[in-house]
Amino acid sequence: MLDTAVRPVPVPKDIAGVDAAWLTQALQGAFPGIEVERAEVVKNFGGASTKLRVELQTNRPDFPPTVVVKGCFEPHSKTMRAVQLLEVQAYTGLVGELGVETIGVFFGGLDEEGWGALIMEDLDLRGVTCLRAVEPIASFETAAAFLDETARIHARWWGAPELADEGAFGWLAGPRDVAQGLWRDILLDEARFAERLGRPRMQAISTKLRDRHRLLAANDAVFANPHGFPLVMVHGDMHPANLYLTSEGRPGFLDWIPRRSTWAQDVNYFIVGGLDPTDRRSWERALLQHYRDRLIAYGVTPPDYETAWLAHRQYTAWGALTWFLNTTDYHTETMITAMAHRFGAAMTDHDTLGLLGL
């Protein structure tokens, strides 16, 4: 269903531009002759990039009655232009090769001005269950199933030459690029960091984790890859709100931000961010072993368990920074606080800063 060609279809810059005329242009690559006769935005899901449910009527009775359109349509989401472009490129050139459950895409386009947008299936029509960040995963079996699929993703290009700087996927951000990103900018700015300190999320974590200088050092240390792990293709943002279960119970993945990183980025972010701290303390060793076992099943030699356990605990710093410093332009403070609490608890449980030599 995916229209993989980058066609000269201008991408809307605001919500009003997501109209019948644009939808007709965009969809005709995958559905020749389609005409969208009526289109109405019926829900704005928000998010880092704007997601809209659009109810439409076409000249094709077999076309679904609603779709989800994603792009940089609002002032806050325009700052996510690079991420939106990356997601379009992921759906048009990477995700289909991974063999995992993901959302169907009808159009993925980059226009001549460098703006990207997606027209995707409305998962509600398939009866999937979308997870919510404020409701941690309560089943060990469900968490293990997601890690099985995560191992499948990682195994596809585990240490492959395509992931080298000069390789076919060298255009993807690597560990050094991520370390130099948005969270580092905030940590370098005392006023911006102080603003975050005043938010409710910071009352949900230990006072010992509110040291700007130690967090800055953790940001730099966590992506230094001291264990020499091979690079893999990571999903990049495996928090619960980007995950779903099909009606048959198969794990599915949304909102891809693929990067060249190490396995521990996805695995730790999922385990710590997806589980209640009590369950995480009980399950994380077994879940890490399950992930290693699944790598073996997919033909990969994983790191030894003790090294993997150390890296898992160290990588808690990445998720902690993400949720300590996130913006309410993208997520509610309630969601951010829930996630910050989980990562803060894991940072304390594991003495993550100490394990990073800080």
pLDDT digits (tens, 9 = 90+) for 203-236: 999 999 999 999 999 998 988 888 999 999 999 9
Length of the chain equals 358
Among residues 96, 247, 265, the alpha carbon closest in space to that of 174 is found at 265
User: What's the pTM value of the predicted model, to 2 decimals?
Assistant: 0.93
**pLDDT for 319:** 96
Give the helix ranges, DSSP H, for 60-211.
81-93, 140-156, 175-179, 182-188, 190-197
- Has residue 1 got a pLDDT over 50? no
Q: List all residues 6 or more positions away from 207 whose beta carbon is below 8 Å from its beta carbon.
A: none
DSSP-assigned letter for residue 223: T
Give all domains of the chain, ordered by start, each with its CATH number. 15-126 (3.30.200.20), 129-355 (3.90.1200.10)
In tens, the pLDDT along 90-131 reads 888 788 889 999 999 999 888 777 788 999 999 999 999 999
**CB-based contacts of 189-193 (< 8 A; 24+ apart in sequence):** 193/325
**pLDDT for 35:** 97
